[in-house]
Structure 1
């Protein structure tokens, strides 16, 4: 079982360092991915004055990645901000709360400090004296040499970017070497063997399991459905509308009857052409015409899971995650259209609230309007 791990992020330090050295904001996902190599993340906190400059845009991204933004007011010495002589209240609070966490969570064996500030050397020494492993992630060009030496492990932020680029290059190379249509057939065979449902989302999910990742757009198709229809045209699979879902079968399999008779290829292609014509004529997305009951139910359930207060970034990200997992089949543009349609239909209810206790102003959040009759019916059908 992996060791428990806690992350403490000096957001101001890592932000200024990455912008200065690489002209880019910190890649939160890359930092978390590297941290997971050392254990199971049980706590992640980022410290900054979130009302200051560009920092104010960071909390939604942090929230969506499971990182708690901790607000600490950054005060200045007499003379004004022009002198840029800031107090170290943020650093002090990070060190104090990290020390407190150390004593209250003895089961956590690894601490990841995301910073390059040498002021944290005493904290590193304290953690190590208690038998904890300390990993420091920072921009090496701007990091304190003594901090690097005091940690058990130092991870250069540049190496994270290199690993990410290398991983993308490997994915691209891997995708060049496989035949997507053969992988589709293999996925359907695997689902048949496991006696599992073979709806489009499940088939795509199985392909992702086989390949690590799969995006039909890289094979030249706008939607996964278009990709499957092309495979059917090539005689590799057969598709049937069943229980309001498009099911995928292998050639030679007995197909279920629809409406009292089997559907032949002509019926199927006529249906596809009619659907494409409706797509061309349609100007806006209709929740009931353009989404299946399963898709609408899944989206509403996911938004409801976000709770009583979710940012628009979190809502879009949660729907995108459903698409990436193969539970939906929506392009980036369609995801935006779905969210707009949810707003227009009143399915999403606006909530004004402060993102964190010490914030100076409120911002717009949203929640699923469960008082709406249509939403009640959707959630009831999902029960």
Structure 2
């Protein structure tokens, strides 16, 4: 890739404001440690495609305070609804997302986190207004929703995004290791490192580049 193309990609990424909307009643994370880990990796993924300027999570009142503290630390606004009123949650998510994006035309991408096929109308509305929709979903996602969005990514594929990047950089920049060690030994080193790296990411919020520098330089 030429330097000009690389620069254009960086410019496009900087101009791509992103709205992130999470239907947490539909895609839940069991505890705040796992949520912290997922959100750190999600932040890393989002930074690769643009600049998140709006983050909102929708759920009933059943989640513990620790969950909401994690969301707040990651700059999410929180909308609570009563547990028995799913249609109300869907309504708020759709209407508030459309309203915010309409009022902020610099947002050209919406990352929607759900499996729920009831949000096809939301996707169609956004696409009609030239907003790209990226769906983060689980295995049980609605087929109609998968077929409609511009891009869909199974959420399990970004759960270890930082670790994957570290390993990739290790292989590219420290490939002398792979020459000195046989294949099985190299795999064992990577495997033994992953829990240490995950611990650092979870509890100290160190960016992947800093982790890479501290461990391998």
For 2:76, the equivalent position in structure 1 comes to 67
Whole-Å Cα distance in 1 between the matches of residues 25 and 210 of structure 2?
40
Whole-Å Cα distance in 2 between the matches of residues 36 and 149 of structure 1?
25
For 2:156, the equivalent position in structure 1 comes to 158
Compute the TM-score of the two structures, normalised by the length of structure 1: 0.40
Unaligned runs of 5+ in 1: 77-85, 179-207, 220-383
Runs of 4+ in 1 over 3 A off after TM superposition: 162-165, 168-178, 208-212
For 2:18, the equivalent position in structure 1 comes to 5
How far the C-alpha of 1:38 sits from its partner, in A, is: 2.4
How far the C-alpha of 1:94 sits from its partner, in A, is: 0.6
* Number of aligned positions between the proteins: 169
Contact 2:117/2:142 (CA < 8 Å) preserved in 1? Answer: yes
More helix by share: 2
Structure with bigger RCO (C-alpha 8 Å, 6+ apart): 2
Whole-Å Cα distance in 1 between the matches of residues 26 and 210 of structure 2?
40
1:97 aligned counterpart, secondary structure: helix
1:47 aligned counterpart, secondary structure: strand
2:213 aligned counterpart, secondary structure: coil
2:22 aligned counterpart, secondary structure: strand
Whole-Å Cα distance in 1 between the matches of residues 91 and 212 of structure 2?
42
- CA RMSD after TM alignment: 2.9
How far the C-alpha of 1:88 sits from its partner, in A, is: 2.2
Contact 1:121/1:147 (CA < 8 Å) preserved in 2? Answer: yes
Matching of residues 24-39 of structure 1 within 5 Å: 25=35, 27-39=38-50
Contact 2:112/2:135 (CA < 8 Å) preserved in 1? Answer: yes
How far the C-alpha of 1:108 sits from its partner, in A, is: 1.0
Contact 1:95/1:123 (CA < 8 Å) preserved in 2? Answer: yes
Contact 2:166/2:212 (CA < 8 Å) preserved in 1? Answer: no
Compute the TM-score of the two structures, normalised by the length of structure 2: 0.67
For 1:367, the equivalent position in structure 2 comes to none
Contact 1:48/1:55 (CA < 8 Å) preserved in 2? Answer: no
Matching of residues 1-383 of structure 1 within 5 Å: 1=11, 2=14, 3-15=16-28, 25=35, 27-49=38-60, 51-52=61-62, 54-74=63-83, 76=84, 87-139=86-138, 141-161=139-159, 163-170=161-168, 212-215=212-215
Larger Cα-atom Rg: 1
Q: Aligned pair in 2 of structure 1 residues 211, 88: CA closer, same or farther (>3 Å)?
A: closer
Whole-Å Cα distance in 2 between the matches of residues 145 and 121 of structure 1?
11
How far the C-alpha of 1:165 sits from its partner, in A, is: 4.1
Q: Aligned pair in 2 of structure 1 residues 88, 175: CA closer, same or farther (>3 Å)?
A: farther
Contact 2:20/2:110 (CA < 8 Å) preserved in 1? Answer: yes
How far the C-alpha of 1:212 sits from its partner, in A, is: 4.5
